[in-house]
Structure 1
Amino acid sequence: MIRKLISRVFSGKKPAANRHEPAVIPVSSHGITRDRISSGSRRTCETLQQHGYKAYVVGGAVRDLLIGAEPKDFDVATDATPEQVRHCFRRSRIIGRRFQIVHVMMGQETIEVTTFRGALDANTKKDEHGRVLHDNVFGTQAEDAARRDFTANALYYDPATEAVLDYHHGVGDLKAKTLRMIGEPRARYREDPVRMLRAVRLAAKLGLQIDPEARKPIRDMADLLENVPPARLFDEMLKLLTSGFSVKCLTQLRDEGLHHGLLPLLDVILEQPMGEKFVMLALANTDDRVRRGKGTSPSFLFATLLWHEVLAHWEKLLAEGQLKIPALYQAMDHVLDVQGEKLAITRRITGDIKELWALQPRFEQRAGKRPYALLEQPRFRAAYDFLVLRAQAGEIDMEIADWWTRFQNVEGDKRGEMLLPEQPGDKKKRRRRKKKPAAGPSASE
């Protein structure tokens, strides 16, 4: 033993830390006081601790506070089972299949409470590629920390003591601006391929460099995303697009070779100069809104990502001699059907996307009563914003967007003065659309 100790000292190697014992970092070192934790998460931890359970604010909230960012959500981890958590809170419910969690309602907040997860073993249900399918196995806090994806997410904050428990050197990695995987990266990506997307999103959002050992396998393992349920991919894509750093995320997705397996048509869009300019303008606009605390629309985001594929297919159908509007609807259905095979875009969002696209040709009509009717459309404002992006990207003449900007900001006679003269064919088209009275006996007969 003495010989080993002397050898270790002279070799300069540090003794291996006990992986089951976390580093306990006091508030004097990390600076996170309990008043910076949401009242709902603080009360949730206090209630569970009063019932004799361990309870901590965990993961992203702790990570964000350490780097000076404002957390979006405050999640809680505990050694209480979902049923035990539910019995501690009158307003709570158990959700989830793959791994059960409890939603605890605290005033206006909904706190997501998870039970410490246990280590995977030979009995863990997986698919043929190694993806974990069923995971309601509970364990110790140390096992829970080891199951988390990145060291920066394996951090536990105790509101009672204001201490941070760090099992995997996550605080040190954050200081070093490194996103490091817990465990062997290839095995962790097989367990959950979405971790590859999460690595890209977190690195872009937090300004971190992906550790080379975690980055190296991503391009080779991108095909595993094909086995992820479309609903999970849609949720992760939405998080990426609304992160406030979507331009950086999208660029890094392409650099890592992940865009082919995520949005099948995205790589085609980004290879078109006009398409890439349009997409990047839309994402930059979304990033700006997120950073200013304004709302974002999933419908608008996906409409911008896919618009140039709709345009390409629409032009192809027009070249084949199809009518303008029926061809547009056929192109919309085609593009959304292709995406539906990979991303489970909800029916409501799909409907909104199609409405945004369908309104675009109507902006070309600036004569007669049609501009007034378009102003009354419920989706006018979103469709107008879409039109402005198209003009900024050089797809259409900026004069059209400027006209609609002025038209909606004036009233009465001034609007009428702006209308363009009707073309000779416009009145004939309207007459053709009027329904002829049905032939048959009159009411008196």
Structure 2
Amino acid sequence: MKNATTTITCKNDILTISRKRYENHSYLSFGAKVAWDAGTKLLPVDSCQVFIRIPARLRASFPDKYCTLVNLSNGLFIDAIIDDVTSMHAEAIEATSYIARALELEADSELVLAKQSHCRFDAIKMQMLSNIKEDVMVLPCGIFIEKILKDFYLFEVINPLTNDSIYIRSQHITFDPALKSNEIRLNKKQRNMLSDNIPTRLTGNQWEELMQCAMADDLKDAIANTYNKDVSGYTIAKSVDELDFHVKHSLQKYIKNKLGEKLIVRPVIESFRYEKKKKLHRRLCDFFVGKSTLSLNCRRPHECDENSDIVRMSEDNMLLLGIEPMDKVVIRFKETELSCHALPFCEDKFERTNIPSIIELSIGIPAHIRNKLKITDIQSSVKVDRDTTFLFKKSFNDQLVPILLTLLSLKFFEELSWYVSMILVVILVPIVMYLTLSSKRNMRGK
């Protein structure tokens, strides 16, 4: 997606990412110029709104299912997923209505399919103890990511089998010369967040490998009923949410053990040369109240929450953030953020609306809030902060009496001049506020 200052242009088949005076020519490479079939709009698949179908003649040029679609008419762009089923047209792509709106597509729009220079890993190593707390990702030296690290603020880690993804800031990425080119180090939480879903599609070979696993006949039959065979392999059944939780969990385990874990790391184009800035009042509230942040997987909320501005998370995560029911949290996805009230999950209701997931790593976000945050795939992860501005206002009554007592106490010193009194007020009031709000700061899991 385009933000205020990030655009992509194409000249002599060279794609350039631009922001202000900065440019990058190395991440995206020219794939093909295509048209858009305005008469066909695909429906979202498994809540993923950014998949496209490309002509069969181009499929061999895009062995990976990830690409960037650029509208050269206005510089808008979006990261898309290439469907296994090809387009019915020889020259035109088929896209979802979300992509059409996001790129402001018209019948005569000139589009470019761009290839991404992402890095692939198939050996996930345990993280070093010193890197666990800060959610650091360790990569091997000499790879492409190392060359462009300073150009991008955010990097996305994707499990291509399930489309689970997490986002990591560039300052939390380090490089280890001891790692091989196919190895990556992640902590247990990151690994769980990247393997918390069932694949929506499996190829014929993957299906055969899965069916060769040693398992009980009734479980094998239940798993066989989970997927329907089609022209592109095996697609998850529409009734997956009605499956027994044990079957879902077993399927998850066998797929992970048999098909292995593969990851893709790529930069977030919107974060090119991005500088995060906070308003003064937000910085002050973070200082006085204390900031607390969690990374959580996006999931569906309870059915009754879909038309409300409420998100759901586990009670433990609410305690870690230092919030109570109906306090506000700030949800961040890439560069977009939104403040919402939070309530705890009910585990039974969570299981009814979601595929098997680790509830402690999940946040239930209604569809309309996901749309405002520009979350295009429910398998994405988000950052969740407690809303320090809300908590500061909420505790204003607790601060008021100590502040008034401080001001009244200055009246006893009549010999003080007015400007000395003002200086004391400027010094003492923030100190009183900081001390009064110490209980709020101590409530959070830092």
Q: TM-score, normalised by structure 1?
A: 0.27
Structure label with greater radius of gyration: 1
More relative contact order in 1 or in 2 (CA 8 Å, sep 6+)? 2
Considering fraction of residues, name the structure with more helix: 1
Q: TM-score, normalised by structure 2?
A: 0.27
Considering fraction of residues, name the structure with more strand: 2
